[in-house]
Amino acid sequence: MDFITGEEKKELEKQLRDHIASRKELTTRIATARELGDLKENAEYHAAREDQGLNEAKIRELEDRLQNAQVADDADVPDDMVFLGATVILKDLEDEEEEQYRLVGNPTGDFTLDYIEVTPTSPMGMSLMKARVGETIRVDLPRGTRRYEIISIVD
Protein backbone atom coordinates (compact mmCIF):
# COMPACT_ATOMS: atom_id res chain seq x y z
CA MET A 1 0.00 0.00 0.00
CA ASP A 2 1.18 3.46 -0.91
CA PHE A 3 0.77 6.21 1.67
CA ILE A 4 0.41 9.79 0.47
CA THR A 5 -0.48 13.10 2.06
CA GLY A 6 -3.65 14.99 1.21
CA GLU A 7 -1.57 17.54 -0.72
CA GLU A 8 0.07 14.77 -2.75
CA LYS A 9 -3.34 13.30 -3.57
CA LYS A 10 -4.53 16.68 -4.87
CA GLU A 11 -1.38 16.98 -7.02
CA LEU A 12 -1.86 13.48 -8.45
CA GLU A 13 -5.51 14.26 -9.23
CA LYS A 14 -4.46 17.48 -10.99
CA GLN A 15 -1.89 15.58 -13.08
CA LEU A 16 -4.56 13.03 -14.01
CA ARG A 17 -6.99 15.76 -15.09
CA ASP A 18 -4.26 17.41 -17.18
CA HIS A 19 -3.39 14.14 -18.95
CA ILE A 20 -7.06 13.35 -19.61
CA ALA A 21 -7.56 16.86 -20.99
CA SER A 22 -4.65 16.39 -23.42
CA ARG A 23 -6.38 13.41 -25.07
CA LYS A 24 -8.34 15.69 -27.40
CA GLU A 25 -5.21 17.56 -28.51
CA LEU A 26 -3.40 14.29 -29.22
CA THR A 27 -6.35 12.93 -31.21
CA THR A 28 -6.40 16.13 -33.28
CA ARG A 29 -2.62 15.84 -33.91
CA ILE A 30 -3.07 12.26 -35.12
CA ALA A 31 -5.95 13.22 -37.42
CA THR A 32 -4.01 16.15 -38.87
CA ALA A 33 -0.92 14.01 -39.46
CA ARG A 34 -3.05 11.27 -41.04
CA GLU A 35 -4.31 13.78 -43.62
CA LEU A 36 -0.73 14.34 -44.80
CA GLY A 37 -0.76 11.03 -46.67
CA ASP A 38 1.37 7.88 -46.56
CA LEU A 39 1.40 6.66 -42.94
CA LYS A 40 4.48 4.45 -43.40
CA GLU A 41 6.79 7.42 -43.80
CA ASN A 42 4.80 10.00 -41.86
CA ALA A 43 7.02 11.01 -38.91
CA GLU A 44 4.43 13.42 -37.51
CA TYR A 45 1.82 10.66 -37.39
CA HIS A 46 4.16 8.21 -35.65
CA ALA A 47 5.30 10.86 -33.14
CA ALA A 48 1.71 11.78 -32.33
CA ARG A 49 0.76 8.10 -31.85
CA GLU A 50 3.78 7.58 -29.60
CA ASP A 51 2.83 10.66 -27.54
CA GLN A 52 -0.73 9.31 -27.29
CA GLY A 53 0.56 5.95 -26.03
CA LEU A 54 2.78 7.62 -23.42
CA ASN A 55 -0.11 9.81 -22.29
CA GLU A 56 -2.45 6.81 -21.91
CA ALA A 57 0.24 4.92 -19.96
CA LYS A 58 0.62 7.90 -17.60
CA ILE A 59 -3.17 8.08 -17.14
CA ARG A 60 -3.28 4.37 -16.21
CA GLU A 61 -0.34 4.84 -13.82
CA LEU A 62 -1.98 7.82 -12.08
CA GLU A 63 -5.36 6.08 -11.85
CA ASP A 64 -3.74 2.98 -10.36
CA ARG A 65 -1.71 5.05 -7.91
CA LEU A 66 -4.78 6.98 -6.75
CA GLN A 67 -6.86 3.82 -6.47
CA ASN A 68 -4.26 2.01 -4.36
CA ALA A 69 -3.02 4.95 -2.29
CA GLN A 70 -4.12 5.63 1.22
CA VAL A 71 -4.18 9.19 2.44
CA ALA A 72 -2.39 9.35 5.75
CA ASP A 73 -4.37 11.11 8.45
CA ASP A 74 -2.03 12.75 10.91
CA ALA A 75 -4.76 14.24 13.11
CA ASP A 76 -4.13 11.75 15.93
CA VAL A 77 -0.33 11.78 15.68
CA PRO A 78 1.52 13.29 18.66
CA ASP A 79 3.46 16.48 17.93
CA ASP A 80 6.81 14.81 18.65
CA MET A 81 6.23 11.78 16.37
CA VAL A 82 7.51 11.60 12.79
CA PHE A 83 4.74 10.80 10.34
CA LEU A 84 4.08 11.20 6.64
CA GLY A 85 4.50 14.83 5.62
CA ALA A 86 6.86 15.68 8.50
CA THR A 87 10.16 17.45 7.94
CA VAL A 88 12.79 16.50 10.49
CA ILE A 89 16.26 17.64 11.38
CA LEU A 90 18.58 14.68 11.87
CA LYS A 91 22.10 14.66 13.28
CA ASP A 92 24.41 12.00 11.89
CA LEU A 93 26.07 10.57 15.00
CA GLU A 94 29.22 9.66 13.07
CA ASP A 95 30.17 13.07 11.69
CA GLU A 96 27.82 15.35 13.72
CA GLU A 97 26.38 16.81 10.47
CA GLU A 98 22.75 17.96 10.59
CA GLU A 99 20.41 17.60 7.61
CA GLN A 100 16.71 18.01 6.95
CA TYR A 101 14.61 15.11 5.64
CA ARG A 102 10.95 15.11 4.64
CA LEU A 103 8.86 11.94 4.74
CA VAL A 104 6.76 12.00 1.55
CA GLY A 105 4.50 9.53 -0.20
CA ASN A 106 5.27 10.90 -3.65
CA PRO A 107 8.76 12.40 -4.19
CA THR A 108 8.87 15.48 -6.42
CA GLY A 109 12.34 14.80 -7.77
CA ASP A 110 13.23 18.42 -7.00
CA PHE A 111 16.82 18.47 -5.75
CA THR A 112 16.81 22.21 -5.07
CA LEU A 113 14.73 21.87 -1.90
CA ASP A 114 16.13 22.61 1.56
CA TYR A 115 15.44 19.01 2.56
CA ILE A 116 15.92 15.49 1.24
CA GLU A 117 12.73 13.65 0.34
CA VAL A 118 12.37 10.06 1.55
CA THR A 119 9.45 7.67 1.15
CA PRO A 120 8.06 5.40 3.88
CA THR A 121 9.33 2.36 1.97
CA SER A 122 12.95 3.57 1.80
CA PRO A 123 15.42 2.50 4.52
CA MET A 124 15.49 6.03 5.94
CA GLY A 125 11.70 6.34 5.74
CA MET A 126 11.10 3.04 7.51
CA SER A 127 13.42 4.12 10.32
CA LEU A 128 11.81 7.55 10.62
CA MET A 129 8.16 6.49 10.54
CA LYS A 130 6.67 6.82 14.03
CA ALA A 131 10.03 7.67 15.61
CA ARG A 132 10.03 10.49 18.15
CA VAL A 133 12.09 13.61 18.71
CA GLY A 134 15.15 12.77 20.80
CA GLU A 135 15.31 9.13 19.66
CA THR A 136 18.28 7.62 17.87
CA ILE A 137 17.38 5.69 14.74
CA ARG A 138 19.43 3.12 12.87
CA VAL A 139 19.35 3.14 9.07
CA ASP A 140 20.72 0.26 7.00
CA LEU A 141 21.98 1.97 3.85
CA PRO A 142 23.81 0.42 0.89
CA ARG A 143 27.02 2.08 2.08
CA GLY A 144 26.58 0.70 5.61
CA THR A 145 24.61 1.25 8.78
CA ARG A 146 24.24 4.84 9.99
CA ARG A 147 22.80 6.20 13.22
CA TYR A 148 20.92 9.48 13.47
CA GLU A 149 19.45 11.44 16.32
CA ILE A 150 16.11 13.12 15.64
CA ILE A 151 16.73 16.71 16.71
CA SER A 152 13.36 18.25 15.87
CA ILE A 153 10.31 18.24 13.65
CA VAL A 154 10.02 21.36 11.50
CA ASP A 155 6.59 22.67 10.51
Summarised one tens digit per residue, pLDDT across range 55-100 is 999 999 999 988 887 776 655 556 677 888 889 999 999 898 999 9
Query: How far apart are alpha carbons 84 and 105 in whole angstroms?
Result: 7
Whether 87-154 and 2-71 are alike in CATH topology: the answer is no
Widest CA span of the chain, in angstroms?
69
Query: How far apart are alpha carbons 146 and 92 in whole angstroms?
Result: 7
Q: Where does 87-154 sit in CATH, by number?
A: 3.10.50.30
Query: How far apart are alpha carbons 38 and 30 in whole angstroms?
Result: 13
Rounded to an integer, the average pLDDT of 121-139 is 89
Query: How far apart are alpha carbons 29 and 52 in whole angstroms?
Result: 9
Task: Map out the domains of the chain as residue ranges.
Answer: 2-71, 87-154
* CA dihedral over 29, 33, 34, 40, signed as positive or negative: negative
For the whole model, what pTM was predicted?
Answer: 0.60
Query: How far apart are alpha carbons 127 and 116 in whole angstroms?
Result: 15
Q: How many CB atoms lie within 10 A of CB 129?
A: 19
Convert the pLDDT of each residue in 25-53 to its tens digit.
999 998 988 887 777 778 888 899 999 99
CATH among 1.20.1260.10, 1.10.287.180, 3.40.1350.10, 3.40.50.2300 for 2-71: 1.10.287.180
Residues linked to residue 69 through DSSP beta bridges, in sequence order: 2
pLDDT score of 129:
83
Q: Is 130 left (phi over 0), alpha (psi -120 to 50) or beta?
A: left
| C-alpha radius of gyration, the chain, whole number | 22
Of 6-15, 77-86, 88-97, 144-153, the one with minimum mean pLDDT is 77-86
Q: How many CB atoms lie within 10 A of CB 148?
A: 25
Residues linked to residue 81 through DSSP beta bridges, in sequence order: 132
Helix axes 43-68, 6-34, angle to 10 degrees: 160
pLDDT score of 34:
85
